[in-house]
């Protein structure tokens, strides 16, 4: 009666490890060994770091939201060079002007980006520069006013990574 | 007649095997045959400039905001600097670059009669240095070589690319072979992306047609100025193909083909690209 | 060979707010990168930028590694009198560069 025969239970045959297995194992170990050294150095700023950096500037004062506008293109072609403009609503007279503009980020290895000092001679409280952003994140701008108040604005930026990179990550 | 009449055309067992074998063979052949897509029609050619964001375009358009211009400034100084055992500057033989170098960037790689092959701008500069200035050749991608080549290329800004020398034809052909040949671990040809799928997205980024209108250019990825050869090496690495060494004739053949492919398009050097 | 590109209008009206654009050649090595063999590349950045107008400071900035290579900084000032702008960049490893631009204010 062909087809009805019960085969003896198949014992799981452990074949001798092949060279492929050894290479695969070595690869896993090597990858594991490589990871820590990559990650140890690239400590990203934590939200706590950003808060500490902000506290350094603002101190105990209240951080208001408004009067500041930070502009970054929402979708960035390359995180290495991201145009960033910060403008503040201020008459820029000796009685009322923007003393400083500070920019912070969330996920770069360091929370500070730039700190600029202005005077009433600026005429307009507006600065522009090009920054680096490692990952999709929030960027925050704080304006320090001559009356001691602090105003801010933040923006979310998406960073994509292009294809055909020179260095394979 | 009975329903199970066997049609004389229906393949028997042996014929099925041959049919399947033929299909498999055709598949294998098409995997190794060069891509048969045509070139992009002349009027559909677009510079990568058009696919960039407004901010990146602005970076290229304004001379005082274009980082590539920093190298042009250095090149201007190098042009006038006497160097080598002959104590000669480029200006001593070539005069004022804005006059004498006009159009040069638009027609290089150019045929070199002595060598019987085209040479690109970087090689031409090194030939001048070693033969006429009696100075050592500048290393590929070195600051000095980039400064001189972008200074020369800059003088052709706005001029249409020229590729009319009949002597270049075998090299254009060799370049086209490389462009359409499948290579690397991905088994892709340049043409697959840049002829067949330009404008579509790859990893979130629009695929350019890949014209060399802006070289040497400031690539945001590099955060510095780089030559066309450097970019071609990037492409090969991206395709997981083996890269030719710097100065290899394959690059010159590719460059010659790419310039022919972009004939008539205006030079943008120094361009800015993501 | 640190070169810089400065964009300052050659002429302006008294009281007019003008935009000044500056671009300096500098790699801005962050200090967070390392070579293929894992050796860290030390930080080398421009840390400070100061602009003066006829000797008086009108703008300054503290730069961090998050500023892109070849730092580009744009700011504005009121054109008060004819004279000279001086821009000074200083940074790691004793980096120092100075550029000047003249303006005629009518």
Strand segments, DSSP code E, in chain B are 110-112, 117-119, 201-202, 205-206, 217-219, 224-226, 272-273
pLDDT of residue A167: 65
Continuous H helices in chain A = 19-41, 47-58
Within 10 A of B101 (CB to CB), how many other CB atoms are there? Answer: 19
pLDDT of residue C36: 83
Residues contacting residue B61 through CB under 8 Å, at least 6 positions apart: none
* Parent domain of A73: 47-159
Residue keyed to tokens 């696919």: B51
Half-sphere exposure for A151 (CA within 13 Å, toward CB): 18
Give dist(CA B117, CA B126) in Å, integer.
16
In this prediction, the answer to ipTM > 0.90 reads yes
For the segment C41-56, the average pLDDT, to the nearest whole number, is: 96
Continuous H helices in chain C = none
Nearest Cα residue to B31 out of B191, B181, B238, B197: B181
Half-sphere exposure for C50 (CA within 13 Å, toward CB): 12
Report strand pairing: C72-78 vs A126-131. antiparallel
A105-163 pLDDT tens trace: 998 889 999 999 999 999 999 999 999 998 888 999 999 999 999 999 999 998 876 65
Structure tokens at C79: 């054109």
A55-72 pLDDT tens trace: 999 999 999 999 999 999
* pLDDT beyond 80 at A35: no
* DSSP code, position C34: B
Residues in a beta bridge with C85: C53, C101
Nearest Cα residue to C24 out of C62, C71, C92, C59: C71
What residue of A is the nearest CA neighbor of B205? A162
Q: Are A61 and A148 in contact (CB under 8 A)?
A: yes
Please report which confidence band the pLDDT of residue A23 belongs to, taking 50, 70 and 90 as the band edges: low
Q: Does residue B93 have an active-site annotation?
A: no
Nearest Cα residue to B193 out of B208, B181, B183: B208
What residue of C is the nearest CA neighbor of B223? C69
Domains of chain B: 39-62+159-273 (1.10.760.10), 68-154 (1.10.760.10)
Q: Domain with A145 in it: what CATH number?
A: 2.60.40.2470
* pLDDT beyond 50 at A41: no
Please report which confidence band the pLDDT of residue A1 belongs to, taking 50, 70 and 90 as the band edges: very low
Q: Which of B205, B222, B230 sits opposite A163 (nearest CB)?
A: B205
Residue B203 three-state SS: coil
Nearest Cα residue to C72 out of B58, B268, B78, A102: B58
List b or e across A102-138, with b for residues whose CB sees 16 or more CB atoms inside 10 angstroms: bbbbbbbbbbbbbbbbbbbbbbbbbbbbbbbbbeebe
B192-246 pLDDT tens trace: 999 999 999 887 788 999 999 999 999 998 999 999 999 999 999 988 999 999 9
Chain C residue numbers touching A81 (CB-CB < 8 A):
68-69
Question: Is A168 within the bounds of a domain?
Answer: no
Dihedral, B171, B175, B181, B185 alpha carbons, nearest 10: 130
Residues contacting residue A53 through CB under 8 Å, at least 6 positions apart: A104, A111, A112
Give dist(CA C86, CA C50) in Å, integer.
8
Tally of structural domains, chain A = 1
Question: Is A17 within the bounds of a domain?
Answer: no
pLDDT of residue A34: 42
CATH code matching the domain that covers C4-33+41-105, chosen among 2.40.170.20, 1.10.10.10, 2.20.25.90, 2.60.40.10: 2.60.40.10
CA end-to-end span of chain C, whole Å?
35
Q: Which of B93, B128, B190, B235 is catalytic?
A: B235
* DSSP code, position B132: I
Structure tokens at B135: 């100075």
Give dist(CA B83, CA B151) in Å, integer.
17
pLDDT of residue B2: 42
Percent of chain A with pLDDT over 90: 53
Question: Is A27 within the bounds of a domain?
Answer: no
Dihedral, C70, C74, C75, C79 alpha carbons, nearest 10: 110
Question: Is A101 within the bounds of a domain?
Answer: yes
* pLDDT beyond 50 at A31: no
Question: Is A167 within the bounds of a domain?
Answer: no
Residue B21 three-state SS: helix
Residues contacting residue B217 through CB under 8 Å, at least 6 positions apart: B68, B225, B226, B231, B268, B269, B270, B271, B272, B273
Chain A residues contacting B via beta carbons under 8 Å: 73, 75, 77-78, 80-81, 83, 160-166, 168
pTM for the full predicted model? 0.82
Residue B156 three-state SS: coil
Residues in a beta bridge with A105: A139
What residue of C is the nearest CA neighbor of A41? C32
Which residues in chain B land under pLDDT 50? 1-11, 29-30, 32-34
Q: Which of B65, B66, B74 sits opposite C3 (nearest CB)?
A: B74
Range 9-68 of C in CB contact (< 8 A) with A = 17-18, 30, 32, 34, 38, 40, 53, 56-68
> Do the Cβ atoms of B67 and C23 come within 8 Å?
yes
> What is the least distance, in Å, from the CA of B260 to any CA of chain C?
33
């Amino acid at each position: 009666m062909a087809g009805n025969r019960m085969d003896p239970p198949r014992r799981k045959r452990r074949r001798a490890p092949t060279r492929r297995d050894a290479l695969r194992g070595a690869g896993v170990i090597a990858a594991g060994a490589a990871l820590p050294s990559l990650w140890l150095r690239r400590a990203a700023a934590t939200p706590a770091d950003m808060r500490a950096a902000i506290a350094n500037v603002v101190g105990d004062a209240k951080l208001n939201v408004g009067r500041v506008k930070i502009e970054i293109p929402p979708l960035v072609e390359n995180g290495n060079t991201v145009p960033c403009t910060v403008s503040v609503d201020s008459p820029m007279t000796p009685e009322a002007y923007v003393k400083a503009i500070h920019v912070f980020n969330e996920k770069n290895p360091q929370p500070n980006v730039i700190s600029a000092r202005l005077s009433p001679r600026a005429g307009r409280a507006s600065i522009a520069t090009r920054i680096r952003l490692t990952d999709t994140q929030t960027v925050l701008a704080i304006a320090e006013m001559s009356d001691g108040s602090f105003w801010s604005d933040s923006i979310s930026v998406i960073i994509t990574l292009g294809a055909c990179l020179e260095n394979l990550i | 007649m009975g329903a199970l009449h066997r049609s004389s055309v229906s393949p028997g067992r042996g014929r099925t095997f041959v049919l399947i074998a033929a299909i498999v063979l055709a598949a294998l052949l098409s995997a190794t045959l060069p891509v048969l897509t045509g070139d992009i029609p002349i009027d559909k050619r677009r510079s990568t400039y058009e696919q960039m964001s407004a901010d990146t375009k602005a970076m290229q358009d304004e001379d005082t905001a274009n980082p590539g211009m920093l190298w042009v400034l250095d090149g201007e100084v190098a042009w006038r600097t006497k160097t080598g055992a002959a104590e000669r500057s480029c200006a001593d033989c070539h005069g004022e670059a804005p006059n004498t170098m006009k159009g040069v960037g638009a027609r290089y790689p150019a045929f070199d009669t002595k060598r019987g092959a085209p040479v690109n701008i970087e090689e031409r500069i090194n030939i001048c240095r070693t033969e006429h200035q009696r100075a050592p050749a500048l290393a590929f991608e070195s600051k000095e070589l980039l400064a001189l080549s972008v200074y020369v290329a800059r003088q052709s800004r706005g001029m249409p690319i020229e590729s009319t020398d009949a002597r270049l034809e075998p090299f254009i052909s060799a370049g086209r072979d490389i462009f359409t040949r499948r290579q690397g671990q991905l088994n892709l040809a340049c043409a697959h992306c840049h002829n067949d799928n330009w404008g579509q997205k790859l990893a979130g980024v629009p695929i350019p047609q890949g014209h060399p209108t802006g070289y040497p250019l400031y690539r945001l990825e590099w955060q510095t100025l780089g030559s066309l050869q450097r970019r071609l090496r990037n492409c090969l690495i991206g395709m997981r193909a083996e890269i030719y060494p710097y100065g290899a004739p394959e690059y010159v053949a590719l460059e010659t083909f790419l310039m022919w492919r972009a004939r008539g398009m205006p030079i943008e050097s120094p361009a800015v690209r993501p | 060979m640190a070169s810089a590109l400065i964009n300052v209008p050659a002429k302006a009206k008294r009281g007019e707010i003008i935009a000044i654009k500056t671009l300096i050649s500098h790699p801005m090595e962050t200090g967070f990168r390392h070579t293929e063999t894992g050796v860290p590349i030390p930080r080398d950045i421009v840390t400070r930028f100061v602009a003066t107008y006829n000797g008086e400071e009108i703008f300054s900035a503290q730069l961090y590694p998050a500023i892109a290579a070849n730092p580009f900084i744009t700011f504005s000032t009121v054109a008060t009198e004819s004279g000279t702008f001086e821009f000074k960049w200083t940074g790691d490893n004793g980096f120092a560069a100075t550029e000047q631009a003249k303006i005629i204010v009518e």
